[in-house]
Structure 1
Amino acid sequence: MGSRNRTESSNYRNPCLTMHQPWASLLVYGIKRIEGRSWPSPITGRLWIHAAGKVPEPETIKAMEDFYREIYAMDGVTDVKFPEHYPVSRLLGCVEVVGCVTCDELVSWEAINAGVRVEGQTAFCWLCERPQKLVVPFEMRGYQGVYNLERKIYESAVRGLMTVKPPLRVKFPLPDPRDPYSLKPGLLASSSNESSVSQLKKPPSLVEAIAGARAAATQFSKNNGSQPKKRNSTDGSIMGVSTITRSREWVPKVHNASERSNAKNLY
């Protein structure tokens, strides 16, 4: 059931998400498997990834790379090849969003790798597979929330994709094997008992890496003027501010051509 580009809403034709670096490249390179938000994913299927205009600090890059080294080490992967560059204001590639679960569901999901379970640190975890990157990332503007790529940009981008080989390929099990997009918040809750949630052992190096990654992410929630004054308690965690975050009640809006021309560009 469903096609590669199937989405939850017909309003999303070629959905795209603008993210800060280094999170954007880490996702497109398949290193990052979970995109964390304080709101559930409005789509399933292909999601294009655009890098915001802020140049990441070297300390931020180091903190996130250290974090991923530690969580991959939990699964026995010690050679993680990170991107050589983290370009900004560029369309980078795409991933396949196969579903969305809550953080509690992810942590207790024993069918997936331990590192992936640690990676999710926000209220909602978007599950990403099959990363593809553009051979030549090209410049474009980004917008808040999930928005549609312009047709001309999409037509150019789709011809320039190449498959990425992640450090550790992850396949998220589906509750309904007949439906490739059956992972939704709450569907795994019946099979997970809070009293029996596995307590993953975290070595001191991982605890330190998590703290460093959280500090790196929090800079955006503190410094970005478009952030809501009242933030959900999960915002400011490792994954929650990799782009402009929203409150849990916020519903993403699609920007059509007229809305885009009048919208304040973020970057």
Structure 2
Amino acid sequence: MTCLPSQIEAVESQYRSMYGERDLPFPETYPQSCLLGCVSVVDVLTQDEYKEKFSESATQESVSEYVFVCEEPQELALKYAVTGDHKIWNLDKTIATAANAAIERTSPAIK
């Protein structure tokens, strides 16, 4: 799936309005259809629970019913091409194994 420039501008505009008109550092290009890395999912909350628990930093970034609270982001040095949806879906076992090995080499604390 390729993002249109108008879609990118709409998302960047949303973030500018959420965080004020300050100079936000947006990338020049955005990766598409690739596995970027992994995170540890530490909680799954409804939107209301999220707003209650994180009221100071809670922003409406998603219309999804649930919010995944993540920690320990690990970026892969090599991005793996994948196809799938932007929601939760099964990752091909070969790619998962290769990505996990790459993460373990760069950060042994993540398993």
Q: TM-score normalised by the shorter chain: which range applies?
A: 0.5 to 0.7
Cα offset, 1:94, TM superposition: 1.8
Residues 1:84 and 2:28 are matched in the alignment = yes
Q: Percent identity?
A: 32
The correspondence for 1:142, drawn from 78, 81, 84, is 84
Confirm or deny that 1:71 pairs with 2:27: no
Give the number of the structure whose residues are more often strand, by fraction: 2
SS of equivalent to 2:97: helix
Q: Rg bigger for which structure?
A: 1
Match of 2:7 among 55, 60, 75: 60
| RMSD (Å), alpha carbons | 3.0
| Gap regions ≥5 residues in structure 2 | none
SS at match of 1:135: strand
Amino acid of the residue matched to residue 124 of structure 1? Answer: Y
Alignment deviations for residues 201-234 of structure 1 (CA, whole Å, 9 cap, x no partner): xxxxxxxxxxxxxxxxxxxxxxxxxxxxxxxxxx
Deviation at 1:70, TM superposition (A): 2.6
Q: How many residue pairs align between the two structures? A: 104
Alignment map for 1:162-177 (pairs within 5 Å): none
Which one of 79, 93, 107 corresponds to residue 51 of structure 2?
107
Q: TM-score, normalised by structure 2?
A: 0.68
Structure 2 residue 78 is the aligned partner of structure 1 residue 131: no
Q: Please, which runs of 5 or more residues in structure 1 have no aligned partner? A: 1-53, 164-267
| Contact kept in structure 2, 1:103 and 1:125, CA below 8 Å | yes
Where 1:117 maps in the other structure, the secondary structure is coil
Aligned equivalents of 1:162 and 1:83: distance in 2? 24
TM (normalized to structure 1)? 0.33
- The 3-state SS of whatever aligns with 2:36 is strand
Distance 1:154 1:122, change over 3 A: closer
